[in-house]
Copies of this chain bind each other. A is one copy, B any other.
Amino acid sequence: MVFLDIWAVLRNLEDMISIEKALDIIRQNIPASQLETVSLLDSLGRVIGEDMFSDIDMPSFDKSAMDGYALRSEDIKLPPVELEVIEIVPAGKVATKELKPGKAIKIMTGAPIPLGADAVIIKEDTQYISSTQTVRCFKRVERAANICFKAEDVKKGEMVISRDTKITPQHIALLSAVGKDKVRVYKYPTITIASSGDELVEITQKPIGAQVRNSNTYSIQAQLNNVGFKVTSLSIVKDEMDSLTKKISQGLRADIFILTGGVSVGDYDIVEEVLKKLGTEILIDQVAIKPGKPFVFGKNKHCLVFGLPGNPVSVFVSTEVFIKEVLSILCNDPGLKNPIIKAILTEPIERTSNRQQYLFARCYLEAETNLWKVEPIKGHGSADIASLSRSNVFIIVPADSPPLPSNSPVSVMVLE
């Protein structure tokens, strides 16, 4: 009897794959990225899927950079000089006259330089004399002064933004100037989530007896909304074959379906069974991660299926580690994943594990040393959302790490 159980333990250890191995399996099963067309403003923060070219020269004509007078620079080599003002050109209009020696054309910022002019003197260096319709120029100007030349910023046909660039507000300014009201970006997958568990009640309800509010759908939505993804929530599912079958079938229509609860080894954890019955190929069911060891990953036609344990902190960690990895690959955006930085432990970590741990912590830049310090938060494990809410990082402690003394350098996953 005892002998048999040792075998079970050994098998269990073998089934529990490392995080890296799990990520490898997941990566191998991610479908090819696709592109979609979105409106210019909706492309903000997205990764562009094609090179973008300008359809015009920028500027598209020689233009004045300032309000002032267009003139021939050689006419005012010895200021003060008075020139006859023969026309006024506002932005958006073209001068009707050619500029001859001894003449000036009043010009506004952005207006085209009149034919014959080779410089602009700024208004502040002149005085207009209305009685004679002349302008007195008090300074000399160099040839080309205050002129923006045609195509000096961008040439027609020039590539302005290359594919795989993440679109910032600066890019939006440029894309609008080169006439792109629609942009091809890496397509965002559809994401559906649901929570299973007979103990769960809606957050508007006050839990009684053994009930618990369903926070998981909210935290997953917030985590994914936070990096720009919309999420459809199917809310709470009963731990029972028919309800699960119905909800899971619905969830499998999405590109990514995330179900929390029902994946542990408990007697009522029938999610994996229902998933299989619905034709899901289960590729992972346990990962050496703490919290979050019960972790189902599978594939059902086009749908990537994730079964996370019901504990809120496990769900939070699994979403950061696994779901964001999928999104970053599908959308070609490593920026969707949390940054991982090095920090110095302020307190020892005594308890390590045969699984890679993600521990509650607060990280801060210490002013005197200019070093990132990280202080573990003593929490109560995978249901302790209060300690989670006080964390701005997770300390990552590798599987089978020795205990870590104070001042050890550690990797931390940045959450905000």
Q: Are A176 and B203 in contact (CB under 8 A)?
A: yes
What residue of chain B has the Cβ atom nearest to residue A111's Cβ? Answer: B210
Copies in the complex: 2
Given contacts A170-B388, A267-B88, A203 and B218 within 8 Å (CB-CB) = no
User: Which label, helix, strand, loop or mixed, suits the secondary structure of the A interface?
Assistant: loop
Q: Which residues of A in the span 161-211 have a Cβ within 8 Å of any Cβ on B? A: 161, 168-181, 197-200, 203-207, 209-211
Q: Are A56 and B264 in contact (CB under 8 A)?
A: no
Residues of B within 8 A of A200 (CB): 92
**A213 contacts partner chain B, Cβ-Cβ < 8 Å:** yes
- Which of A70-78, A97-105, A219-227, A243-251 forms contacts with chain B? A219-227
**A44 contacts partner chain B, Cβ-Cβ < 8 Å:** yes
Given contacts A92-B200, A310-B109, A389 and B170 within 8 Å (CB-CB) = yes
Q: Which residues of A in the span 263-301 have a Cβ within 8 Å of any Cβ on B? A: 264-268
Residues of B within 8 A of A363 (CB): none
Q: Are B110 and A218 in contact (CB under 8 A)?
A: no
**A367 contacts partner chain B, Cβ-Cβ < 8 Å:** no
Q: Mark A75-101 against chain B: 1 for CB-CB distance below 8 A, else 0.
A: 000001000000010111110000000
**A45 contacts partner chain B, Cβ-Cβ < 8 Å:** yes
**A153 contacts partner chain B, Cβ-Cβ < 8 Å:** yes
Residues of B within 8 A of A175 (CB): 218
Shortest Cβ gap from A98 to chain B (Å)? 16
Residues of B within 8 A of A106 (CB): 267
Q: Are B198 and A93 in contact (CB under 8 A)?
A: yes
Q: Are B210 and A92 in contact (CB under 8 A)?
A: yes
**A325 contacts partner chain B, Cβ-Cβ < 8 Å:** no
Select A67's contact among B91, B111, B174, B265, beta carbons within 8 Å.
B265
**A2 contacts partner chain B, Cβ-Cβ < 8 Å:** yes
Q: Are A219 and B169 in contact (CB under 8 A)?
A: yes
Q: Are B386 and A222 in contact (CB under 8 A)?
A: no
Shortest Cβ gap from A179 to chain B (Å)? 6
A175 CA / B176 CA spacing, docked (Å): 40
Given contacts A138-B2, A200-B92, A218-B41, A174 and B386 within 8 Å (CB-CB) = yes
